[in-house]
């Protein structure tokens, strides 16, 4: 059934949304088997193609498995809430950064305003206030819930000791020092939330919904604080992970993954390379802007001491021209940074998230292999007992074998699931990325063009002044 492109959401299935039991249903998403030629998008209508060319099909509703504790979104729910087609949206804007509190306890709060037409949310227009650690907490929760199944979780902006200190230190009157930083952070938070809101599964996650709509203050995410006990533990775990990443060599049988891992590495390198170049451009342009201002001032001095009337006037106009040109350069610099740099930085971080999910898969594989190893041992033990005729031990050994057999089975299933999921996520990621890169590049070229047009205006207004020199 194709998605209609009307302005009303597609027909809902009969299951009511507010029943808590729905939310506790199965953890696993892809029970329905993918046949070879089924549309990759069949289960989730992942396409973000603006022209809506990719047909959006809905596969049969899978049955749910026995409940798990996690409230993760099921495919069933997804279909209830409508597929990720063109007419379902959750748009978030982050505004009004305000400093709350004083001294070391001070922090920035942001207004998070959402517009949505999804039934999953209570209203269609609403806003709440959140602090930076809330965003990090959200990211952590989503990672906890979905990373293991192979989802790419959009990364949150980094914590910055310098930045947060700036905020704590600045008083009411002196906003300048932190203003830039705050604006950049606000923009970054906005991109983070919207990327998450664009993800078909994550956006109908209850924790995500709570973040957006719950009027209550969210429980302080102390775990996210860099200096907390949890933070230290996280650090240790990270180190362990890193060692694991280096030392464990997975036996890759899937050529798709072999290729993709390489591609991702490559993309990572390219993006970082590009980022360096763009940062160099930003630097040069900023320098140019400053030099232009400086030059303008010296021209003004020249104009002041020149006794020839029309020349003096023209020079003072030139000084003004240079000042206006400097503003244009500064604007361009902001565009260089805000549009290109930030895009590249976001994607370097996203590639990091992809690598994380690749690594998750390796861990799942490790798990499975480990279970296999233990199973073999148990089988050996059982066989030994059988040979030795130790009937007292045989039953227990048998139980253990059965236990580990099912663990191996689950391990394999988990591995297959995560592999499948990653494939899907990556396909979606590529589509989104391609779109975003195109749109961003167009925006950037437009900014270049607008600024050049401004330059034309500025010099055209000067020309008659120059000609008027008698």
Contact present, 425 and 152 (Cβ < 8 Å): yes
Give yes or no for residue 460 binding other proteins (CB under 8 A): yes
- Kindly tell me which residue out of 277, 370, 384, 410 binds other proteins, with binding defined by CB under 8 A: 277
| Spatial distance between the Cα atoms of 344 and 277, rounded to a whole number of angstroms | 11
Q: Name the minimum Å distance from CB 325 to other proteins.
A: 9
Q: Which is nearer to other proteins, 409 or 446 (CB)?
A: 446
235 binds other proteins (CB under 8 A): no
Q: Which of 274, 374, 381, 394 binds other proteins (CB under 8 A)?
A: 274
Buried b (16+ CB within 10 A) or exposed e, 159-168: eeeebbebbb
Q: How far apart are CA 130 and CA 225, in angstroms?
A: 16
Q: Among 226, 239, 280, 388, which residue interacts with other proteins (rule: CB under 8 A)?
A: 280
Based on the shown chain and the rule CB under 8 A, indicate whether residue 98 belongs to the binding site for other proteins.
no
| CB-nearer residue toward other proteins: 27 or 271 | 271
CA distance 317 to 462: 7
Q: Which is nearer to other proteins, 246 or 456 (CB)?
A: 456
Enter the DSSP assignment of 426: H
Q: Is residue 53 within the footprint of other proteins (CB under 8 A)?
A: no
Question: Per CB under 8 A, which of residues 313..372 are in contact with other proteins?
Answer: 314-315, 318
Considering only 222, 294, 395, 396, the residue that binds other proteins (CB under 8 A) is 294
CA torsion sign for 55, 60, 65, 71 is positive
Long-range contacts of 48-54 (CB under 8 A, 24+ apart): 48/84, 48/198, 48/428, 48/431, 48/432, 48/435, 49/431, 49/435, 50/86, 50/435, 52/3, 52/5, 52/85, 52/86
| In contact, 244 and 367? CB cutoff 8 Å | no
Residues sharing a CB contact under 8 Å with residue 306, sequence separation 6 or more, in sequence order: 312, 315
Q: Select from 86, 306, 386, 427 the one that contacts other proteins (CB under 8 A).
A: 306
The CA distance from 359 to 351, in Å, is: 12
HSE, CB side, 13 Å, CA atoms: give it for residue 432.
21
Q: Interface with other proteins includes 284 (CB under 8 A)?
A: yes
399 binding other proteins? (CB under 8 A): no
Rounded Cα distance between 446 and 440, Å, is 10
Does 459 engage in binding with other proteins (CB under 8 A)? yes
Q: Which of residues 423-452 bind other proteins (CB under 8 A)?
A: 430, 433-434, 437-438, 441-442, 445-446, 448-449, 452
Minimum distance between the CB of residue 296 and other proteins, rounded to whole angstroms? 9
Does residue 38 bind other proteins (CB under 8 A)? Answer: no
Which of 228, 273, 395, 396 binds other proteins (CB under 8 A)? It is 273
Out of 301, 373, 383, 402, the only residue in the binding site for other proteins (CB under 8 A) is: 301
| Token couple for 74 | 């099921």
Beta bridge partners of 107: 100
| φ, ψ (nearest 5 deg) of residue 299 | -65, -35
Query: Shortest Cβ distance from residue 329 to other proteins (Å)?
Result: 9
Among 285, 324, 378, 428, binds other proteins (CB under 8 A): 285
Of 164 and 292, nearer to other proteins (C-beta) is 292
Here the tokens at position 436 are 């975003």
Q: E strands along 19-145, which residues?
A: 90-100, 107-116, 125-131
Closer Cβ to other proteins, 65 or 449, answer by number = 449
Contacts with other proteins by CB under 8 A: the residue count is: 54
In terms of CB distance, is 284 or 406 closer to other proteins? 284
466 binds other proteins (CB under 8 A): yes
Interatomic CA distance for residues 432 and 426, integer angstroms = 10
Kindly list the residues in this chain that would bind other proteins in the complex (CB under 8 A).
Answer: 50-51, 266-267, 270, 273-274, 277-278, 280-281, 284-285, 287-288, 291-292, 294-295, 297-299, 301-302, 305-308, 311, 314-315, 318, 430, 433-434, 437-438, 441-442, 445-446, 448-449, 452-453, 455-456, 459-460, 462-463, 466-467, 469
């Amino acid at each position: 059934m194709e998605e209609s492109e009307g302005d009303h959401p597609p027909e809902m299935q009969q299951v009511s949304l507010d029943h808590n039991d729905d939310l506790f249903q199965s953890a696993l998403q892809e029970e329905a088997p993918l046949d070879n030629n089924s549309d990759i998008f069949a289960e989730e209508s992942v396409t973000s193609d603006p022209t809506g060319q990719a047909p959006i099909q809905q596969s049969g509703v899978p049955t749910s498995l026995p409940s798990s504790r996690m409230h993760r979104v099921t495919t069933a729910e997804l279909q209830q809430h409508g597929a990720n087609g063109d007419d379902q949206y959750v748009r978030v804007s982050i505004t009004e950064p305000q400093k709350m509190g004083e001294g070391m306890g001070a922090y920035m709060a942001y207004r998070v305003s959402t517009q949505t037409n999804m039934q999953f949310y209570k209203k269609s227009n609403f806003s709440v206030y959140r602090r930076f650690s809330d965003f990090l907490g959200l990211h952590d929760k989503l990672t906890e819930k979905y990373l293991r199944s192979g989802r790419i979780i959009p990364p949150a902006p980094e914590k910055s000791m310098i930045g947060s200190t700036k905020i704590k230190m600045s008083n009411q009157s002196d906003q300048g020092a932190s203003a830039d930083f705050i604006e950049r952070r606000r923009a970054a938070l906005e991109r983070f939330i919207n990327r998450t809101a664009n993800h078909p599964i994550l956006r109908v996650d209850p924790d995500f919904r709570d973040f957006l709509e719950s009027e209550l203050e969210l429980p302080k995410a102390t775990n996210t604080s860099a200096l907390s006990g949890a933070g230290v533990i996280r650090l240790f775990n990270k180190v362990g992970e890193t060692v694991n990443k280096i030392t464990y060599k997975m036996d890759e049988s899937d050529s798709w993954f072999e290729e993709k891992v390489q591609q991702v590495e490559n993309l990572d390198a390219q993006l970082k390379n590009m980022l360096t170049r763009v940062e160099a451009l930003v630097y040069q342009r900023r320098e140019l802007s400053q030099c232009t201002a400086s030059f303008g001032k010296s021209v003004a001095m020249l104009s002041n001491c020149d006794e020839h009337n029309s020349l003096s006037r023209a020079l003072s106009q030139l000084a003004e021209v240079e000042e206006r040109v400097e503003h244009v350069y500064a604007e361009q610099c902001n565009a260089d940074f805000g549009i290109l740099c930030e895009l590249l930085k976001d994607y370097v971080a996203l590639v990091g998230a992809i690598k994380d999910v690749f690594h998750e898969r390796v861990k799942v594989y490790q798990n499975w292999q480990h279970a296999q190893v233990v199973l073999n041992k148990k089988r050996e033990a059982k066989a030994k007992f059988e040979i030795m005729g130790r009937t007292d031990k045989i039953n227990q050994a048998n139980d253990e074998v059965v236990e580990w057999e099912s663990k191996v089975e689950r391990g394999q299933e988990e591995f297959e699931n995560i592999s499948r999921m990653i494939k899907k996520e990556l396909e979606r990621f590529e589509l989104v990325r391609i779109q975003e890169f195109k749109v961003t590049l167009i925006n950037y070229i437009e900014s270049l063009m607008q600024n050049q047009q401004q330059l034309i205006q500025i010099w055209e207004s000067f020309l008659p002044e120059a000609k008027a020199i008698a």
